[in-house]
Amino acid sequence: MTKEEALLQIQQLSKEIEDHNFRYYQQSFPVISDYDFDQLLNKLIALEKEWPDLVQPDSPTMRVGGTITKEFKTVTHKYPMMSLGNTYSEEELNDFDERIRKILPGEKIEYACELKFDGVAIGITYKNGQLVQAVTRGDGVQGDDVTTNVKTIRTIPLKLNIPSSADLFDSSTSFPDEFEVRGEIIMPRAVFERINEERIDIGEAPFANPRNCASGTLKMQDSSEVSKRRLDCFLYGYYGTPLFVNHFEAMNGISAFGFQVSEHRKLCGSINEVMEYVHFWDSKRDELPFDIDGIVIKVNAYRQQEELGFTAKSPRWAISYKYKAASVATKLEEVTYQVGRTGAITPVANLTPVLLAGTTVKRASLHNADQIAKLDLHVHDTVFVEKGGEIIPKITGVDLSKREEGSTPIVYITHCPECNTPLQRKEGEAQHYCPNEEGCKPQIKGKIEHFTGRKAMNLEGLGAETIDLFVEKGLIHNISDIYSINKDNILQLDRFGEKSAQNIMDGIEKSKEVPFEKVLFAIGIRYVGDTVARKLARHFKSIEALKNATLEQLTDTPEVGDVIAGSVIDFFSKPSNQALIERLKSAGLQFELKADALPISLGNQLEGKIVVVTGTFERHSRDELKQLIEQHGGKNGSSVSKKTTYLLAGSDSGPSKTDKARDLGVQVISESDFEAIISG
């Protein structure tokens, strides 16, 4: 294939993929399957790897991520991002309307009403139809440049095309050479719940609400991890060359450009219509797949907005009506305690059932001992429960006027509720833990359920009920016992026939083919989720190398800090875990990367050398450079130390790393220097 042919294919594939993205995310009308879409994307990725100098900044492969950003550059907003005045009162909404009418006497006033998304405000600049910068609100005057992470959000166009097909856009629509759109980056509830389940499973504290999770995700250093979080974005503002006479028309216009604009906006001719809209969404907001915390009301006409002007902090022509968090009072019947697979103890408030935001609430999380102490909970207190931005209901306070005379405070337990082992609480951690990993049944069952799960060993037939039965009957005591089960053991139990027993045995045998990175995740090291397990597996290549790694070697692995490294060392220091690994090895599980998972060797020019990559580069992505380092026998480091051989520095590389490299006598090399080294 010639370079010209490759360029043509890349352009055609990019156009086709972005058209499918638009149909899927903007129109909710996909015309190909997810599998076929992935095949197109994989074909483009392969072409771009073969022809790296043909990769465009608006390529659909940017959605996949892969760039590491250690520091987010501060950028001054071209148009200040002012905050809105808030109200919780209908009376104040009427006052807002009266002020508008006093300043604009006799004029027809229309209000554009929109959902107030509970997320992270963002300003996105386009030049010649191409996304060039995305900046957070910050303090309103300046914010952080999060362009690389925003490019992974599939509902944000990387390049604005005006397709000729009438079903996509009106072909007469055009956009200016440069403009900015503003909106809110959000995390859908379903994604939030999945992330929290994963965090709880590896022993990490769950996020409090989708907004906090979206904010944290947007500032992650690895854009490939941002891509997996599946953030979403709704746009609600246009700034640039005047094209529209009012806000509602502007929203229709940017929708035609290809931006996602909420379908739930409404144009209201009076404050009474605004009130109806406010009340409607107060009753319906729980049915949305994402969180809103109110309604934004704007004077629609831009001419009127200009006449109304601004106060020092906010526009006079807009206001947000904030919904009060749904809250009810009910009785606290008792506090019980759950034991997770990592031994983490979670206190749970058991409540007299009460209706809250359309669902019956019987339980609420109390998080930890500090939360119980902060609330000063007593036995049989009447408590206030709300959802607000939370998915799981929480207790926000106590009705002291209804506290029973002589009631006693809730005292946090000192021993495990399942095995009576004294609990431990490490310095700096909020949760208590049961250290009895091998004798506490919820931990045993939880570890086995984790090991057999779909994202781990994917052992068919070994669901929670079956595991519970096998543990209770003494058939298995830990994950390695799974490989000692025979069919006769299973047939002796109730509920199992020849076929179901054989299915379990087939699943056990098939699991021996599961790759090392999934096995590493499955064995359940605290804080090691599937992403970290994959990076550890690829960095160390085998369980032996990982087991013998030092703290410094572990923290040289991307995404691994002191806490995760300490947890890995602690896991392998225990004789019981060492014996467990040996039994799993004997059973035939994969504890080394297979040859096809290892990087293809292209030479040994970097044998024994450690290279740290920082900044951005002209001819390679950072992931490509890291792959080349491994393919030439080298190791990737995450931070500069005395052991670092080279600091490979591109443009925008932070001064802290280069200064440290020079202080330590580490050679700083450019992309051209690196190419010269690996070419021999």
Nearest to 129 by CA among 170, 91, 82, 161: 161
Cα–Cα dist 138/146, whole Å: 11
Angle at 423 between CA 333 and CA 212, to 5 degrees: 70
Q: Which residues of 601-612 are buried (b: 16+ CB within 10 A; e: fewer)?
A: eeeebbeebbbb
First to last CA, the chain: 27
Which phi-psi region, left, alpha or beta, contains residue 203 (left: φ > 0; alpha: ψ -120 to 50)? left
Euclidean distance between CA atoms 568 and 562, whole angstroms: 10
Q: Determine contact, residues 79/143, Cβ cutoff 8 Å.
A: no
Please give the Cα distance from 340 to 446 (Å, whole number): 7
Angle between helix 575-587 and 562-573 (nearest 10): 80
Instruction: State the helix-helix crossing angle for 3-25 and 34-50, rounded to 10 degrees.
Output: 150
Tokens read off for 15: 């156009």
Residue 385: its H or E element: strand 382-386
Would you say how long the chain is, in residues? 680
The separation between CA 660 and the C-alpha centre of its own chain, rounded to angstroms, equals 32
Strand-strand pairing, 646-649 and 667-669: parallel
Spatial separation of the C-alpha atoms in residues 191 and 213, rounded to whole Å: 10
CA angle 110, 113, 114 (to 5 degrees): 155
Handedness of CA 451, 456, 460, 461 (dihedral sign): positive
Q: Which residues form the catalytic set?
A: 116
How far is Cα 434 from Cα 414, in angstroms, rounded to an integer? 10
Write out the two tokens for 220: 């992650």
β 610-614/635-637 pair status: parallel
* Three-state SS sequence of 465-530: HHHHHHHHCCCCCCHHHHHHCCHHHHHCCCCCCHHHHHHHHHHHHHHHHCCHHHHHHHCCCCCCCH
Q: Is 414 exposed, middle or buried (0-12, 13-18, 19+ CB in 10 A)?
A: exposed
Number of H helices, E strands in the chain: 24, 20
Contacts 24+ apart (CB under 8 A), 550-554: 552/641, 552/643
CA 303 to chain centre: 41
Structural contact between residues 304 and 247, judged by C-beta atoms closer than 8 angstroms: no
Enclosing H/E stretch for 295: strand 292-299
Sign of the Cα pseudo-torsion (265, 271, 277, 282, in order):
positive
For residue 332, give the nearest of 420, 393, 389 by alpha carbon.
Answer: 393
Closest to 141 measured CA to CA, from 297, 318, 320, 313: 313
β-strands 232-240, 130-136: how paired?
unpaired
